[in-house]
């Protein structure tokens, strides 16, 4: 060994001895921390001083470190041996559990195989039995199919029949018969026959029975209801009822037919409650079992028709009312005037406050001197002026009546145009597939036209009557004036003429 090697070994030994205390201190701290949960050396002043003292002696520190490592290995070996002993003791128990589970699995597999074999065997037997049943049934299969079909159809009919309000629960038996997969029994067929016979018998009867009825306010009360076959049911007050199969109850119609039908229904209800029988009563029926009645009550009444006309419809009605009232006033006034003129013409000596009386009075105030052409002309002009003064009062408001008679149909035509414009707007937006969307505009167009014609026709008739009466009054005044002029123009009779 040369000198350089010795020098290197001595320097390595010196370095190792210098770092050995620090390494021992770190190893001791880590070992003590992992083995025990005692107080941390960082917080214990005694441990810090002890560690410092131990680090100052490298050989003593190494011995302690080895001793601690040896003790730790011994503790770990003891723990491992204890766990191994525990695992070995439980091994037999786990083996027993495994054997039990394997036995159960094998038993379940055998049971599954047995059930599968039995299932296929039953399927084969079932197919054979069904084939045998079809061979034995023959034509009876079709017969039983017809029975089920008739039961289903009859059940649907009974569900909506008015008779079911008096005899509830009949459809359930037929439903079970129609849905049953087994062959119907003799009792089932007899029940179907009895139900059909009962329905046919009840369709020809008029019966009064007590049953709960739901009114339009949603209140239920038990009253006596008169049923006419499966067609209609009515209350003692003549209100028509409808039967709802979903609830099995009679409901009062929210809107009743006209008073004529209600009065007939009330008379029938009163007749059935009477002790006297054998009388014939006229009664309304619905042969469609409610379909026609539901359509009848859906028809809009007069108020709803007017509302369909909109603003223009109401304006036409106002014009019509004003025109009719004005026409009636003119006819009454002109009739009174004509009566007074006629009475005045019959009694020329009694002057009254009327058009002809004023003409007689003006004629009487004329000097009764021998006539000449100038005086006759002056009297004629005076009488013509009196007729002209009376004419405006006689023909007053007739021009207004004529204008109203012409405006009413024009407004109806305007409503027709606006209704059609609305209809085309709806067609543009939604198409022409749904007619209900276009019904509003079409209704407005037709209703306003009908209202315009309905207002114009009576106004036009009243105008014609008033115009003819005014014309007759004026003609009567002109005739009386001509007679007075003729009387005044006769010189031979002037002396005997007296003023009326």
Q: For position 484, what pLDDT does the model report?
A: 75
Q: For position 315, what pLDDT does the model report?
A: 92
| Residue position matching structure tokens 């003791």 | 89
Task: Determine which helix (DSSP H) or strand (DSSP E) holds 378, and give its type and residue range.
Answer: helix 373-394
Distance between start and end Cα atoms, the chain: 190
> pLDDT tens, 146-176?
888 888 888 888 888 888 888 888 888 888 8
Average pLDDT over residues 186-201: 86
Q: For position 234, what pLDDT does the model report?
A: 86
Task: Determine which helix (DSSP H) or strand (DSSP E) holds 234, and give its type and residue range.
Answer: strand 232-234
> pLDDT tens, 331-385?
999 888 888 888 888 877 777 777 777 877 777 766 555 556 777 777 777 777 7
Average pLDDT over residues 37-51: 41
Distance CA 438, CA 419 (A): 10
Q: For position 46, what pLDDT does the model report?
A: 44
Of residues 391 and 365, more confidently modeled: 391
Instruction: Answer whether 243's CB lies under 8 Å from 160's CB.
Output: yes
277 pLDDT above the threshold of 60:
no
Instruction: Answer whether 229's CB lies under 8 Å from 203's CB.
Output: yes
Total residues belonging to the chain: 500
319 pLDDT above the threshold of 90:
yes
- pTM for the structure as a whole: 0.51
Coil, helix or strand at residue 88:
helix
Average pLDDT, the chain: 77
Distance CA 371, CA 449 (A): 63
> pLDDT tens, 74-126?
888 888 888 888 887 777 788 888 888 999 999 999 999 999 999 999 999 99
> pLDDT tens, 399-458?
899 999 999 999 988 888 888 888 877 777 777 666 666 666 777 788 888 889 999 999
298 pLDDT above the threshold of 90:
no
Q: Where are the alpha helices (DSSP H) in 36-57?
A: 45-55
Note every long-range contact of 14-18, with CB atoms under 8 Å and residues 24 or more positions apart, other chains counting.
Answer: 17/58
- Angular region, 347: left φ>0, alpha ψ -120 to 50, beta rest: beta
465 pLDDT above the threshold of 90:
yes
User: Phi and psi at residue 287, in whole multiples of 5°?
Assistant: -65, -15
pLDDT band for 324, please (50, 70, 90 cuts).
very high
- State the CB neighbour count (10 A cutoff) for residue 339: 11
How deeply is 349 buried, as exposed, middle or buried, from its count of CB atoms within 10 A (0-12, 13-18, 19+)?
exposed
- Eight-class DSSP state of 491: G
Average pLDDT over residues 42-54: 43
Express as a percent the part of the chain with pLDDT over 90: 12
User: Phi and psi at residue 489, in whole multiples of 5°?
Assistant: -85, 0
* Residue 357 CA: distances (Å) to CA of 198, 340, 344: 87, 9, 6
Q: For position 459, what pLDDT does the model report?
A: 93
pLDDT band for 34, please (50, 70, 90 cuts).
very low
């Amino acid at each position: 060994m040369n000198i350089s090697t010795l020098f290197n070994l001595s320097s390595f030994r010196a370095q190792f001895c210098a770092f050995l205390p620090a390494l021992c201190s770190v190893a001791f701290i880590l070992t003590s921390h992992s083995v025990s949960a005692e107080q941390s050396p960082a917080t214990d002043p005694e441990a810090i001083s002890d560690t410092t003292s131990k680090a100052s002696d490298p050989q003593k520190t190494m011995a302690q470190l080895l001793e601690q490592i040896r003790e730790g290995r011994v503790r770990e070996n003891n723990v491992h041996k204890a766990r191994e002993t525990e695992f070995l003791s439980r091994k037999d128990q786990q083996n027993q559990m495994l054997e039990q589970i394997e036995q159960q699995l094998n038993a379940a597999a055998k049971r599954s195989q047995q059930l599968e074999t039995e299932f296929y065997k039953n399927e084969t037997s079932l197919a054979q039995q069904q084939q045998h049943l079809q061979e034995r049934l023959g034509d009876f299969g079709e017969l039983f199919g017809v029975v089920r079909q008739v039961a289903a159809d009859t059940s649907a009919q009974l569900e909506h029949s008015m008779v079911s309000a008096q005899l509830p629960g009949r459809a359930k038996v037929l439903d079970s018969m129609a849905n049953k997969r087994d062959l119907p029994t003799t009792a089932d067929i007899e029940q179907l026959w009895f139900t059909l016979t009962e329905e046919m018998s009840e369709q020809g009867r008029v019966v009064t029975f007590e049953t709960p009825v739901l009114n339009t306010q949603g209140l239920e009360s038990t009253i006596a209801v008169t049923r006419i076959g499966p067609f209609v049911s009515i209350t003692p007050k003549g209100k028509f009822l409808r039967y709802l199969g979903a609830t099995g109850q009679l409901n009062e119609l929210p809107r009743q037919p006209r008073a004529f039908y209600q009065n007939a229904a009330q008379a029938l209800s009163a007749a059935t409650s009477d002790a006297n029988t054998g009388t014939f009563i006229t009664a309304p029926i619905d042969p469609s079992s409610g379909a026609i009645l539901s359509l009848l009550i859906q028809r809009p009444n007069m108020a709803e028709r007017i509302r369909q006309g909109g603003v223009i419809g109401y304006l036409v009605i106002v014009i019509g009312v004003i025109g009719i009232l004005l026409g009636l006033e003119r006819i009454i006034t002109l009739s009174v005037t004509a009566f007074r003129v006629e009475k005045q013409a019959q009694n020329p000596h009694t002057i009254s406050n009327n058009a002809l009386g004023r003409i007689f009075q003006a004629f009487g105030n004329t000097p009764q001197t021998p006539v000449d052409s100038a005086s006759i002309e002056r009297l004629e002009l005076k009488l013509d002026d009196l007729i002209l003064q009376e004419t405006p009062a006689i023909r007053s408001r007739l021009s207004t009546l004529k204008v109203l008679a012409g405006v009413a149909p024009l407004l109806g035509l305007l409503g027709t145009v606006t209704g059609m414009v609305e209809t085309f707007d709806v067609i543009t937006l939604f198409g022409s597939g749904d007619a209900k969307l276009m019904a509003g505009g079409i209704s407005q167009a037709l209703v306003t036209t009908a209202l315009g014609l309905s207002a114009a026709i009576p106004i036009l008739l009243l105008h014609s009557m008033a115009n003819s009466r005014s014309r007759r009054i004026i003609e009567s005044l002109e005739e009386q004036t001509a007679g007075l002029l003729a009387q005044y123009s006769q010189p031979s009779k002037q002396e005997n003429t007296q003023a009326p």
